[in-house]
Amino acid sequence: MSRTPVLRAAVVGTGHRAQLFTRGLAERPGHLVAALCDPSPTRMAFHNRLLTETGAPAATPWEPDRFTDLLAEEDIDEVVVTTVDAEHDRYIVPALKAGCRVVTEKPMTVDAERCARILDTVRETGNRLTVAFNYRFNPVHEKVRALLAEGAIGEVLSVHFEWLLDVRHGADYFRRWHREKRHSGGLMVHKSSHHFDLVNWWLADEPREAFGYGRLGFYGREAGERHGLRRDYDRAHGADRAADDPFALDLAANDTLRALYLDAERDDGYLRDRNVFDGPITIEDDMSVLVRYARGATMTYHLTAYSPWEGYRVMFNGSAGRLELEVEESRWQPPLTRVTSAAGAVHGDTAAEHAGGARLTLRPLWRPPVDVPLAVAHEAHGGGDPRMLDALFGPVGPTRAPDTAAAAHPTATERDGALALAVGLAANRSFETGRPVRTGELLPGIR
């Protein structure tokens, strides 16, 4: 009797988000997490406990400096990269050259030079890269794409996209490594690439130019003092002045956060609970962007990272009508003395305590509006995460039928990753120069 071959996987980066892939691979037949790669032995030990809890064997821990040795000695077939954004290319490039299948968390990388290095390697090796844009797999977003592709509003002429991060989720990007643009590319790259990929995918079009303004107006020392929100401490753990700060993250009060970060500080010195009203912070918290697409459509995009509620509104204006989407991921946030929940600080894993719903309205010309029925899931990024894992690695065991719609869904390639990145990079450059920036000037290697 023939046996299904087992693909040996390496997971690079073992922080909170990596749990999705560690568990996801371990639960799926035909995949074995053979190696973990991270500067922290403590975090890798946490992920090995996750593996053994699912009945899978523990993986071999490896230091980042020995990644190429890892690929050869562990006979790796597939690599999942879910580490600091600016480090993605460090692992993507050698994995592609070794002939591995590579899946990377979004964003693909954080700047034009790293992006060019990845694209050049894809062309040189002929190996492909998949970018884990899980928002593509949200059934609500798929419904939007289907309506636009069917011509429900005719030719799409313009898009307005307003995204609101609330004072729990939004603040979290100002506590951790994301607060420094050299690591994350800022929210225009780290988070908004989700939406830029969605719009590229929805419109089946490519961005050509972007112009915008961005500022740090709510978080940071100066703004915190100006608004009377700042408490005088560097990081929350052990700080008396953080005790009554609703923006403070209490790592010790949550088992997962304590194990992944507080207990791991002795390994690499990484602090996960920095004061959001203290420095250094080099990213923006309020951004307005105008994007022009190849076929003439435009998008106005606004990101607010300090909102009372969380969600997004997207409006498509077309030659035959208008399509309006509103998603409330949290209707409001109560004032808490210290954030203790991983789900409260790390978005997307579970339903928000005050989650709202999604509404999709089609407004054709000369006819009454139509409320489009939707299947809405609050957990796991609107159902996007499990469906993405099905598309990437197959279904979970024989008892769960595969999601045929997800399996047929085209996953995002390195080119898609570069086109989403191009908008964020052009926006960042425009923030600096005050001028419109053509995406082709930054990433001439996109073909």
Domains of the chain: 7-133 (3.40.50.720), 134-381+412-447 (3.30.360.10)
Q: How far apart are CA 385 and CA 17, in angstroms?
A: 11
Q: Is 112 exposed, middle or buried (0-12, 13-18, 19+ CB in 10 A)?
A: buried
pLDDT tens digits along 143-177:
999 999 999 999 999 999 999 999 999 999 999 99
Q: What are phi and psi of 333, to 5 degrees?
A: -125, 125
What number of other Cβ atoms are within 10 A of residue 232's Cβ?
A: 12
Res 1: pLDDT? 35
What number of other Cβ atoms are within 10 A of residue 53's Cβ?
A: 10
Chain-centroid distance of CA 62 in Å reads: 25
Q: How far apart are CA 140 and CA 372, in angstroms?
A: 10
Res 376: pLDDT? 67
Listed residue (305, 309, 246, 304) closest to 275, CA to CA = 246
Tell me the chain's radius of gyration from C-alpha atoms. 22
- Strand residues in 253-391 grouped as ranges (E): 286-293, 298-307, 310-318, 321-330, 358-364, 370-371
Residues in the chain with pLDDT values less than 70: 1-4, 336-354, 376-382, 397-409, 447
Res 186: pLDDT? 97
Q: How far apart are CA 325 and CA 144, in angstroms?
A: 8
Listed residue (430, 383, 429) closest to 409, CA to CA = 383
Q: Please, which contacts does 229-233 make with residues 24 or more away whose CB atoms are closer than 8 Å?
A: 229/277, 230/275, 230/277, 230/278, 231/275, 231/277, 233/275, 233/278
Res 355: pLDDT? 72
